Structure 1
């Protein structure tokens, strides 16, 4: 967001369908000043359905047809909320979500797609997979192929165009895998593919026969079992994989929000606006009331520019524009092999060249979400101070712990501070938190804050709270109270109120879950969102950072990699064959995991404990060794890593703080030339606990941690000697 034009209204896009994906890309190239853009989607990636048959047939990799909504939202400077909408309160202008509090909007658009499941068919929800949404289907299909059945039996319910394409793709893939497959296509009707011309229908039915697909018409499936189907005649048919492609079914909640609809599909006027002027709709979940069209992605793609124009026009008080869909469209039907049939205006052509045409069209669409154009950087004024250009050419400043000062600068500054003189202060400058003696034990006091790395203030509040609690848990203390320090970016009054409410609501819930309360704080306006907390806790005794003993085992309770992943996401990296959005979502899930149970398990037995945060595992372990006058060995093969972190580090992605972390420890660390060693100095946000525990107890403690859901591991051991870290493969 350009700080010169603070947002004053909220535009929320529900769903990451084709139309919304294109709107996001076009918005990025020309954002509307004064509007904050938010995207809500349950998954970090959205599939391009046109390439689904090619994926099932084995012609495409999964990553080739997935739109990375995390990268796209970063490019569009939009807030991405990974959640599912369940309803809209139009009077209060609130969108209800599955996993978080309702979200306010000023203007909304809906593009949430459809489903093809059969909720009324006994057993279908448990034993069948729906073709839509695509993501779950693709994952289940790959898992089925991995079983390597010698005689796989696949049943597909619904012999419409989509079902036929998937039956052809399925049969081709299983043949190429060398399986003697039985693929059966069921339909209640007696006339398959009624929307195709007679010639195109004959071509497609011939392709089914050539690939050995059995077509059963007039077949009424009455139940789905774990390995069979039951027909209305009582006949039972074996099925190892059952797919439902029975036509479009809208998300049920759309019919319950008081908008005009046609059988659950939102009815829109020519401008794509629903019966509520503040809500637009497009894609398969909507229908043009005056001019209905088939559920085909081509119409969503064509509607995107009109939708963008009308959203901007509504926000800026300009006239709307009508969407005029074409009367017919080119139907390109994949035939399983690298061949296709094309039909338009009653004309039909078939052959490999048609598949290549479809492939070019599909890849051209996905290329729009490949490398994004770099936004121009304003030139430096001339003259400027020598060295400024080189300084600005460094890695962009990261958020989270990656934005902290390097350990060298910090230790130099702290060296000038006098030692504490008050007798109740039991800690020094290097401890995780201040330790104050009390009549019943100790009170610990810490403070921490995070520079935002996400446009989602609720997410940042939760992570900042958990990050601050880390020091309390690392000392074996019970959280008590917290004070908040919040810096909001410049916003309009309504958005300022909304953002601060989101921050405080989420922070309060997070601290309450940890047994603490927010009792006050301070807020201010600044250049960007920054959230911090001062937290107190109580304990009978504090677990020190020092105190590790030779022979102790080292337990780490979370995998490493958050700094690298967050840096790659902020840089909109595009790793080969790796969906950055999915890597980022998995990283956020790890960061969101509280360490209270881990601390409670380790604290009674730990000789020393700390949390792994900004200085990385190597930096914080060396702090432990310095205070304990010991050495340590860690094994790279035993250190858990977040999915995708190693691949990103190997391609040069790293936090802006990582070089300073490496410089601070490299002279005291012996490590092999191994890309995994790069992640030992990766700054962690909401990192895990690192504990030195008696070797005899380590295995049992690890079992307890893993049973609690922590991805913990024994990564090494403490040894006698001068403080030094030895890293082995």
Structure 2
């Protein structure tokens, strides 16, 4: 049964830190009716601090330590905005976000961690901070690859002789040793000894570092960092091709520019984790300062704070009472020693050995499993007594969004057969990408309409995709986009949320259509069961627009975008697609294709690949032009991750209908029948023209692939 509780409050989580990840997991298990949840984070994943040294040492792969925020947000019913927060307007209750309009909030929480970017001469140009973790990890992987292939000397400097610096130094030294390389790793510490641990643990760390050949410079003051060395005051330079900053925790600069209460750039919070003097804002993790219980920056406190934060966010949204966070005074430190050995310290006692690494590994794996094992939320059972045919439909997969929710081609064609014959100024009606009308000035106008059932919760991203999708029909006919009318269905929500959502949609649509040279001139909006965004678009062409009927024997087929978005979105709905795969596909889908259309406007025939899949749209050109098509499987671009998902049996709900309607014998590749949302342009043109077009597209940073050729025939498609 459709949940008809109206949305009335916006909760925004800024950052994908450990506490917020746990809140997302809990929220998905028990969402608060009426609250709309948004997460703002620069990337689709967030690294888990505890496994970073193991990843650097080579014990874990990249995927092992990354928290998949895309899957977590799908589980929680949250929209995920992949961008950086750059400010907060507390008067307007808005988060300022890079690259898009502000995001309004009623309640917000900040969990953005810290940075290790140091204010040292040359650091920005020749070093990398150990935090943010994902940036450092990527830079380290690149450096290790260069060292392994003899393109860089294995010389590393680590600035900071605390636990983090020593741990990373040992991990990097171990990784290079395992690759058969003799590393030269040096830890540079400003103080007289390794900090952050007691005497016994310090002795163990020194012993482990000595075994790995790591050098230690104490009482070292850095003068300047250069491309190949770190210059020290009153000491010899440290030769380094890779320099890492791990000396202390530094707040993100944009926080200091806000009016938030702060302590040395860290956000001050009270015992309930709300920001001092503002019960609509919360902060947690390393970016927060707890004056009621000062603690070092450690992930353990963020994990322990998560249940309190979750409860207090719900209370703030619903008018309930908040709870107090009481962090433990002492905590167990588990420190990796490079190889599969670790040291434990608590209450001044310290022990080391392989068993402790196995214990640490078990703790870390359990944390990641907790965020990775997301239960499938079952739909309520159907009524016991239903009309014939209901059970068969309900037994199918959940209805896909985007073009995967279209009516099958066969059903649609049958319905369109009953339309009256075109007359008057109408040159072409149903059957091509858009209707074609003569204009009084002697030119032509094309007109099309499209709408999409939501595939993501973010109205901005969904609007961009829907606008690009609708414009595809105009671009495919070589026409210049002219005007657009919006057709919107919003979920039931309060007037305040309606205003916020419509502002986001209108601004996003205006940007896309302006880029394409068109204007958004109005539309119609209603409320319904779920968000649906569509546009009616028109375009102009001085001569007869490109249709699917003009292809000629000997033409080759050019495709501008990969296929496989349908299977990726289907897997996303099921919670089985990796976040990076989903984010990459969505990023391509929301990108306008006006430059591709301009380059291809001399094509003999053109269409856009959408709901009926590549095979269906190739066949449309073949049938209209009296040709056969030969497709080259190895030349067809495919979205990363789509092939593996398809081979596992993941498919859009429209795919079986596409396969049946295409009537293509002998083609077993399901991806050719995969419905595409905001898919690529498919053009038929002479080979020489195609090669010139692909070269021109490459100069513009656009894609283009010759995927097959056309010959005289009757609509047969073969795949070789």
| TM-score above 0.5, yes or no | yes
* CA–CA distance in structure 2, aligned partners of residues 591 and 222 of structure 1: 48
Q: Which residue of 1 aligns with 2:133?
A: 134
Q: Which residue of 1 aligns with 2:91?
A: 91
* CA–CA distance in structure 2, aligned partners of residues 544 and 377 of structure 1: 44
Q: How many residues align?
A: 714
Task: Report if the CA contact (8 A) 1:117-1:246 is conserved.
Answer: no
Q: Deviations over 1:175-228 (max 9, x none)?
A: 1111121111112222212x2111111001100000111111222333333333
Task: Report if the CA contact (8 A) 1:490-1:526 is conserved.
Answer: yes
Determine helix, strand or coil for the equivalent of 1:167: helix
Task: Report if the CA contact (8 A) 2:559-2:683 is conserved.
Answer: yes
Match of 1:601 among 554, 579, 599: 599
Deviation at 1:243, TM superposition (A): 1.4
Match of 2:648 among 621, 628, 651: 651
Q: Which residue of 2 aligns with 1:68?
A: 68
Task: Report if the CA contact (8 A) 2:664-2:716 is conserved.
Answer: yes
Q: Which residue of 1 aligns with 2:564?
A: 561
Deviation at 1:233, TM superposition (A): 4.4
Deviation at 1:446, TM superposition (A): 0.7
* CA–CA distance in structure 1, aligned partners of residues 392 and 186 of structure 2: 64
Task: Report if the CA contact (8 A) 1:270-1:322 is conserved.
Answer: yes
Deviation at 1:433, TM superposition (A): 0.4
Matches within 5 A, 1:425-574: 425-438=426-439, 439-541=441-543, 542-573=545-576
Deviation at 1:440, TM superposition (A): 3.2
Deviation at 1:2, TM superposition (A): 6.3
* CA–CA distance in structure 1, aligned partners of residues 108 and 460 of structure 2: 20
* CA–CA distance in structure 2, aligned partners of residues 32 and 688 of structure 1: 39
Give the structure-2-normalised TM-score: 0.97
* CA–CA distance in structure 2, aligned partners of residues 159 and 117 of structure 1: 16
Q: Which residue of 2 aligns with 1:32?
A: 32
Determine helix, strand or coil for the equivalent of 1:5: coil
* CA–CA distance in structure 2, aligned partners of residues 127 and 404 of structure 1: 52
Determine helix, strand or coil for the equivalent of 1:143: helix
Distance change (3 Å), C-alpha of 1:58 and 1:503: same
Q: Which residue of 1 aligns with 2:579?
A: 581
* CA–CA distance in structure 2, aligned partners of residues 380 and 487 of structure 1: 26
Determine helix, strand or coil for the equivalent of 1:653: coil
* CA–CA distance in structure 2, aligned partners of residues 394 and 290 of structure 1: 55
Q: Which residue of 1 aligns with 2:5?
A: 5
Determine helix, strand or coil for the equivalent of 1:420: coil
Determine helix, strand or coil for the equivalent of 1:426: strand
* CA–CA distance in structure 2, aligned partners of residues 315 and 601 of structure 1: 51
Q: Does 1:267 align with 2:268?
A: yes
Deviation at 1:163, TM superposition (A): 0.7
Q: Which residue of 2 aligns with 1:577?
A: none
Deviation at 1:283, TM superposition (A): 0.2
Q: Which residue of 2 aligns with 1:48?
A: 48
Q: Does 1:618 align with 2:619?
A: no
Q: Deviations over 1:594-618 (max 9, x none)?
A: 1111111110x21011111111111
Q: Does 1:684 align with 2:638?
A: no
Match of 1:414 among 416, 424, 427: 416
* CA–CA distance in structure 2, aligned partners of residues 86 and 74 of structure 1: 25
Task: Report if the CA contact (8 A) 2:20-2:306 is conserved.
Answer: yes
Q: Which residue of 2 aligns with 1:389?
A: 391
Q: Deviations over 1:95-147 (max 9, x none)?
A: 101111011110111001101012x3233223322211111222222222222
* CA–CA distance in structure 2, aligned partners of residues 716 and 126 of structure 1: 47
Matches within 5 A, 1:305-316: 305-316=307-318
Task: Report if the CA contact (8 A) 1:463-1:686 is conserved.
Answer: yes
Match of 2:698 among 686, 706, 709: 706
Give the structure-1-normalised TM-score: 0.96
Task: Report if the CA contact (8 A) 1:463-1:592 is conserved.
Answer: yes
Task: Report if the CA contact (8 A) 2:2-2:529 is conserved.
Answer: no
| RMSD (CA atoms) | 1.5
* CA–CA distance in structure 2, aligned partners of residues 583 and 683 of structure 1: 17
Unaligned residue ranges in structure 1 (runs of 5+): 575-579
Q: Does 1:346 align with 2:348?
A: yes
Task: Report if the CA contact (8 A) 1:81-1:456 is conserved.
Answer: yes
Determine helix, strand or coil for the equivalent of 1:668: coil
Bigger Cα displacement from structure 2, 701-710 vs 205-214: 701-710
Task: Report if the CA contact (8 A) 2:116-2:250 is conserved.
Answer: yes
Q: Deviations over 1:295-344 (max 9, x none)?
A: 00000000001111111111222221110010100000110111111011
* CA–CA distance in structure 2, aligned partners of residues 705 and 152 of structure 1: 40
Q: Deviations over 1:566-610 (max 9, x none)?
A: 111111005xxxxx111111101111221111111110x210111
Determine helix, strand or coil for the equivalent of 2:275: coil
Task: Report if the CA contact (8 A) 2:161-2:193 is conserved.
Answer: no
* CA–CA distance in structure 2, aligned partners of residues 607 and 7 of structure 1: 49
* CA–CA distance in structure 2, aligned partners of residues 450 and 233 of structure 1: 67
Determine helix, strand or coil for the equivalent of 1:95: strand
* CA–CA distance in structure 2, aligned partners of residues 420 and 226 of structure 1: 71
Q: Which residue of 2 aligns with 1:123?
A: 122
Match of 1:374 among 370, 376, 400: 376
* CA–CA distance in structure 2, aligned partners of residues 225 and 393 of structure 1: 64
Q: Deviations over 1:673-710 (max 9, x none)?
A: 5xxx2211111111111111111222111111111111
* CA–CA distance in structure 1, aligned partners of residues 487 and 429 of structure 2: 24
Task: Report if the CA contact (8 A) 1:5-1:34 is conserved.
Answer: yes
Distance change (3 Å), C-alpha of 1:197 and 1:110: same
Q: Which residue of 1 aligns with 2:239?
A: 238
Q: Deviations over 1:230-287 (max 9, x none)?
A: 3334854432222111211111121222121110000111111112211110000001
Distance change (3 Å), C-alpha of 1:127 and 1:647: farther
Q: Deviations over 1:539-585 (max 9, x none)?
A: 112011111111112111111111111111111005xxxxx111111
Q: Deviations over 1:7-62 (max 9, x none)?
A: 10111110110001111111111111221111111111011110000001111111
